[in-house]
Amino acid sequence: MNKKIALHIITDGQHSLHEVVHFVTKFEPYISYLHIREPSCTASELFDCIKKLKYAGFPLQKIVINDRIDVALATDVSHVQIGYRSIPVAIASEKFSNLKIGASIHSLEEATNTKANWLLYGHIFDTASKKGIACRGTKLLQQLVSNVSIPVIAIGGITPQNTKEVCASGVSGIAVMSGIWQANDPIEKVKEYASQLKEWEDEKFR
């Protein structure tokens, strides 16, 4: 059976929510999940954004809300991403057992005994948003994947050109932020990533 590698797109906080809605409704056929990561937005703004996405036909099951569990509960979104500014994963998992929770981690030690449903791990390659911080690389990524029993999503410096290298580490998905939002044509760039994932799947499992 083919293993489909999920494509996660993360908003970058640099575009208006109106732009986000405009673009992601066009992305939707090509992506697995949209992570709404907008730390400067209010709960009300996020609530309205998700309502607009839903009205535009974007499936709620494809939405992941970063940090704001309250907004997820209010909008019937079942996926949340927990980071270092959030409440602990164990508490969120205990108190909100109906939610599927992702944990953002940077080491194998952080992955031990987590209550998360998936892990977001990086940064894999050098990226402008992490200047001066050493990247983890695909060797450590593969080590992490081999030592955990839950899906691992790789993030950080992933381009269409190195997508297959990341897939070879055994990840369940890749996450992209600046690679999409800083592109001249974000919609075409999403298609490039999706095409590389499809090629990987076809080559690996044919």
Which sequence positions are flagged as catalytic? 123
Distance CA(103)–CA(121), nearest Å, equals 9
- Tell me the CB-side half-sphere exposure of residue 153, using CA atoms within 13 A: 23
- In angstroms, the first-to-last Cα distance of the chain is 10
Q: H helices within 15-88, ranges in order? A: 17-27, 43-55, 69-75
Cα 22 → chain centroid: 19
Beta strands in the chain (DSSP E): 6-10, 33-36, 63-66, 79-82, 100-105, 118-122, 152-155, 173-176
